[in-house]
Amino acid sequence: MKDRSLKLPKPSLPLFAMGSFTAVMLVLTAVGVVRNYSPVPFWDMWDAYLNFFLSVGDGDMTAWWRQQNEHRIVLAHLLFWADLRWFGGASWFLLLANYALAGAAALLFWCMLRARLAVQPRSVPETMMGLFLVALLFSWMQQENFTWAFQSQFFLAQLLPLWALYCLHLSLAGPARTGWFALACLGGVGAAGSMANGILALPLLLGYALLTRQGWRRCAVLALLAVVTLVAYFHNYQQNPGHIPFLTVVHDSALPLLTYMLQYLGSPFYFLTGSSGAGKVLALLGGVMLVVACLHQAVRWYRGRGDTLLLTLLFFLAYIGATATGTASGRLHVGSGEAFSSRYTTPALMAWAAVLLLYAPALLAAARASRRRATQLTLLLLLVAVPMLALQVSALRSRAALGFEKNIAALALELGIADQPQVGHVFPSALAVLPIVERARAQQLSVFGMAPWRGLHASMGQPAAPSAPAALPPCQGSLDEVAPVEGDANYLRVAGWLRNPDGATVPARVRFIDAGGKLAGVALTGRIRPDVAAAVGEGALHAGFQGYVLASEAGAALSLQADVASGACALPVQIPAPLVLLTSMAPVPAGALSVTAVLPGNTWLGGDYERVSLPGMRVYGSFVHADTDTGAISLRVKRGDRLFYRSGPGGGRQIMTLPGSGLADVRLPVRSNWAQLEFSGAALPEGEFTVTFTDAGDSWGEWSAIAVRE
The predicted pLDDT at position 6 comes to 42
Stretch 113-117: mean pLDDT, rounded? 90
The pLDDT score that the predictor gives to residue 1 is 42
Query: CA angle 328-334-340, nearest 5°?
Result: 60
The answer on pLDDT for 175 being more than 60 is yes
CA atoms of 284 and 265, how far apart (whole Å): 8
User: Where are the chain's structural domains?
Assistant: 13-38+91-236+250-396, 39-90+399-458, 460-578, 581-709
User: Please, which pLDDT band fits residue 601 given cuts at 50, 70 and 90?
Assistant: very high
**Residue spans of alpha helices (H) in 425-563:** 430-442, 456-459, 530-536
What local confidence, expressed as pLDDT, does residue 565 receive?
59
pLDDT at 10: 55
Q: What is the mean pLDDT of residues 572-582?
A: 86
pLDDT at 468: 66
**If you average pLDDT over residues 222-248, what whole number do you get?**
87
Please check the confidence at residue 226 and state whether its pLDDT lies above 60: yes
Sheet with 642-647, side-by-side order of all strands: 580-584, 675-679, 642-647, 704-709, 617-621
Q: Which of 34, 47, 108 is nearest to 76 (CA)?
A: 47
Report the share of the chain in percent with pLDDT over 90: 59
Average pLDDT of span 164-179: 90
Question: What pLDDT is attached to residue 2?
Answer: 46
Span 404-424, average pLDDT = 93
Residue 15 has a pLDDT of: 84
Q: Dihedral sign for Cα 365, 367, 372, 376, please.
A: positive
Minimum mean pLDDT among 32-36, 277-281, 401-405: which range?
Answer: 277-281
**Alpha-carbon span 548 to 562, nearest angstrom:** 15
Residue type for position 160: L
Which of 102-106, 379-383, 472-476 has the least mean pLDDT? 379-383
Cα 557 to chain centroid distance, Å, stands at 41
Per-residue confidence at 681, pLDDT binned at 50, 70, 90?
A: confident
Nearest Cα to Cα of residue 46 among 15, 91, 4: 91
Average pLDDT, the chain: 89
Q: How far is CA 156 from CA 139, 160, 213, 684, in A?
A: 17, 6, 28, 59
Instruction: List pLDDT tens digits, range 188-203.
Output: 999 999 999 999 999 9
Q: Residue 5's pLDDT is what?
A: 47
Q: Is pLDDT at 652 greater than 50 in this prediction? A: yes
Candidate ranges 122-136, 245-259, 407-421; pick with highest mean pLDDT: 407-421
Q: Closest Cα partner for 523 from 555, 487, 566, 475?
A: 475
DSSP assigned state of 669: P
Which CATH entry fits the domain spanning 581-709: 1.10.260, 2.60.120, 3.60.21, 2.30.30?
2.60.120
Give the pLDDT confidence score for residue 666 in this predicted structure: 82
- What digits encode the pLDDT tens for the residues 78-105? 999 999 999 999 999 999 999 999 999 9
Decide if pLDDT at 113 tops 60: yes
Asked whether residue 687 carries a pLDDT value surpassing 80, the answer given is yes
Residue 11 has pLDDT above 60, yes or no: no
Residues contacting residue 47 through CB under 8 Å, at least 6 positions apart: 68, 436
Instruction: Tell which wins on pLDDT, 366 or 461.
Output: 461
Q: Which pLDDT score, from 0 to 100, does residue 674 have?
A: 93
User: What span, in angstroms and rounded, lies between the C-alpha atoms of 656 and 654?
Assistant: 7
The per-residue pLDDT for 237 is 87
Average pLDDT over residues 145-155: 95
Specify which of 3-12, 556-565, 569-578 reaches the highest per-range mean pLDDT.
569-578
Nearest CA among 708, 688, 683, 581 for reference residue 638 = 688
Fold of 460-578: Immunoglobulin-like (2.60.40)
Which stretch of 8-12, 138-142, 507-511, 621-625 has the lowest confidence by average pLDDT?
Answer: 8-12
Per-residue pLDDT, 316: 97
373 to 10, 151, 356, 379, 384: CA distances (angstroms): 19, 40, 17, 10, 17
Query: What does the pLDDT read at residue 669?
Result: 79
Does the structure show a pLDDT above 70 at 121? no
Distance in angstroms (rounded) separating the CA atoms of residues 178 and 176: 6
- Over residues 270-295, mean pLDDT: 89
Which is more confidently placed, 650 or 662? 662
Q: How confident is the model at residue 467 (pLDDT cuts 50, 70, 90)?
A: low
Share of the chain above pLDDT 70, in %: 95
**With left for phi above 0 and alpha for psi between -120 and 50, is residue 307 left, alpha or beta?**
beta
Query: What's the average model confidence in pLDDT over 272-284?
Result: 85
Query: Which among 44, 270, 28 has a CA at the least distance from the CA of 151?
Result: 44
